[in-house]
């Protein structure tokens, strides 16, 4: 176990924004909540999965909804506490620890703030190794672990307990309720034993986020190129450099959906990159080449600072570097690709690992 203080939170927030692949909610809001919780309750205990007893009850916590809504509908923190305690009461067993459902954006931060409030540790594990837009898009689903019982709560005091026949139904019903509750809610989800978390979760994800954030911070302090540092740390690839020239973004059915176009600069001059996103960036292509596609990670970075830019933060004129990062091996299994590969989102391309696309300079079909 180690304790997370303010600097660790700052670094984790930056790394979370990068692994969030544009989505997962802007970590700035969650960072402020976590920093405030540390001020009030002290440093946050962080456990490795090996420190969690196999029979201990662990529950994930976080936010569901469109990141664009979160910008204006900021949570108080009380919603997450209500959702968590309602689920704990329903299960009739004390929760040992919480953990982030995804390695991205606000959902890496909210469990930290909640843990500080409740005096619980956070486990250094998640269910994605990145951010995805739907509740069933986790490694726990791949391994047959149920999302429910789950609880969602909003700022008005509405609390909904769900027990569903499978995780796809959990997503459908919870998404509909989220839309009715204003487009974003806090949740407590995927209750499981420590044994299941160890076997199914993606380990040491908060540590990776912290390393990414720290590398960007130190690169700036020492006048090094942060992009190079990020690519080395994540085994990533530079896909494109250019200026944002168009963003088409709308919030519908509980998601931020849209496209962005980036006009090439430097060696990419004369080309235009198109990004497609549903909360997260899911596909990057030029007119004739597929550059990266889900479940691999696509991140947009500020070309000068290396700081990640979220989908709701994309603005005309921004100078960017787009990078691709290989996903966790679990997502490259047949069930992983079926769950969150390009076909699921309606993209008429086959999944090809980003490292192969970069090597071959793949041509669009």
Going by C-alpha positions, the residue among 299, 276, 296 that lies closest to residue 286 is 276
User: What are 165's two structure tokens?
Assistant: 């026949």
What does the chain come to in residues?
A: 365
User: pLDDT for 92-109, tens place per residue?
Assistant: 999 999 999 999 878 999
The neighbouring-strand residues paired with 196 are: none
User: What are 266's two structure tokens?
Assistant: 């430097």
Alpha-carbon distance of 266 to 140, in angstroms, equals 42
What are the structural domains, with CATH classification, of the chain? Answer: 2-205 (3.40.1610.10), 225-360 (2.40.390.10)
Share of the chain above pLDDT 90, in %: 84
User: Where residue 364 falls among pLDDT bands split at 50, 70, 90?
Assistant: very low
Going by C-alpha positions, the residue among 225, 253, 252, 230 that lies closest to residue 325 is 230
Q: Mean pLDDT score of the chain, rounded to an integer?
A: 93
Three-class SS of 338-361: HHHCCCCCCCCCCCCCHHHHHHHC
pLDDT at 255: 79
Higher pLDDT, 25 or 129: 129
User: Where residue 188 falls among pLDDT bands split at 50, 70, 90?
Assistant: very high
Mean pLDDT throughout 315-328?
97
- Which string of DSSP letters, residue by residue, matches 226-286? HHHHHHHHHT-EEEEEEEEEEEEEEEETTEEEEEEEEEE-GGGTT-EEEEEEESEEEEEE-
**Whole-structure pTM value:** 0.93
Mean pLDDT throughout 268-286?
95
User: pLDDT for 246-263, tens place per residue?
Assistant: 999 887 777 778 999 999
Residues 6 or more apart whose CB falls under 8 angstroms from that of 106 comprise 16, 24, 25, 26, 27, 29, 30, 62, 63, 67, 70
pLDDT at 228: 94
* C-alpha distance across the termini of the chain, in Å: 50
Share of the chain above pLDDT 70, in %: 98
Mean pLDDT throughout 231-252?
93
User: Where residue 77 falls among pLDDT bands split at 50, 70, 90?
Assistant: confident
pLDDT at 239: 97
Mean pLDDT throughout 173-180?
95
The dihedrals phi and psi of 161, each to the nearest 5 degrees, come to: -105, 130
pLDDT at 59: 98
E strands, the chain, where?
2-4, 44-47, 57-65, 97-100, 122-123, 125-126, 150-153, 159-162, 184-193, 202-203, 237-252, 255-264, 272-278, 280-285, 290-293, 297-302, 319-325
pLDDT at 25: 72
pLDDT at 365: 41
Mean pLDDT throughout 209-217?
96
Does 363 have pLDDT greater than 60?
no
């Amino acid at each position: 176990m180690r304790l997370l203080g303010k600097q660790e939170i700052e670094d984790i927030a930056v790394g979370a924004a990068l692994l969030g692949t544009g989505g997962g909610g802007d970590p700035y809001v969650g960072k402020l909540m976590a920093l405030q919780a540390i001020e009030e309750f002290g440093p946050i205990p962080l456990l490795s999965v090996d420190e969690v007893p196999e029979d201990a009850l662990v529950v994930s916590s976080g936010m569901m909804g469109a990141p664009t809504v979160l910008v204006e509908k900021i949570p108080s923190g009380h919603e997450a506490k209500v959702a968590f305690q309602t689920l704990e009461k329903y299960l009739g067993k004390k929760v040992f620890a919480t953990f982030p459902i995804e390695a991205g954006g606000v959902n890496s931060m909210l469990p930290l703030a909640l843990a500080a409030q409740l005096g619980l540790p956070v486990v250094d594990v998640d269910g994605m190794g990145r951010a995805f837009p739907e509740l069933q898009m986790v490694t726990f689903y791949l391994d047959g672990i149920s999302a429910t019982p789950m609880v969602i709560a909003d700022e008005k005091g509405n609390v909904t307990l769900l027990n569903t026949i499978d995780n796809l139904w959990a997503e459908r019903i919870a998404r509909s309720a989220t839309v009715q509750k204003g487009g974003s809610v806090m949740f407590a989800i995927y209750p499981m034993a420590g044994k299941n978390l160890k076997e199914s979760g993606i380990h040491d994800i908060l540590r990776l986020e912290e390393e990414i954030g720290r590398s960007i911070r130190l690169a700036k302090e020492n006048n090094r190129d942060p992009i190079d540092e990020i690519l080395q740390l994540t085994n990533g690839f530079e896909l494109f450099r250019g200026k944002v020239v168009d963003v088409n973004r709308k919030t519908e059915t509980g998601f931020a959906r849209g496209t962005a176009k980036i006009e090439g600069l430097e060696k990419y001059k004369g080309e235009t990159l198109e990004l497609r996103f549903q909360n997260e960036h899911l596909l990057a292509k030029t007119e004739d080449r597929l550059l990266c596609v889900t479940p691999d990670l696509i991140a947009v970075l500020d070309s000068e600072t290396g700081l990640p830019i979220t989908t709701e933060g994309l603005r005309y004129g921004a100078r960017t570097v787009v990078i691709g990062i290989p996903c966790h091996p679990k997502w490259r299994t047949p069930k992983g690709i079926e769950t969150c590969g390009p076909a699921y989102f309606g993209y008429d391309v086959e999944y090809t690992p980003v490292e192969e696309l970069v090597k071959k300079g793949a041509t669009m079909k």
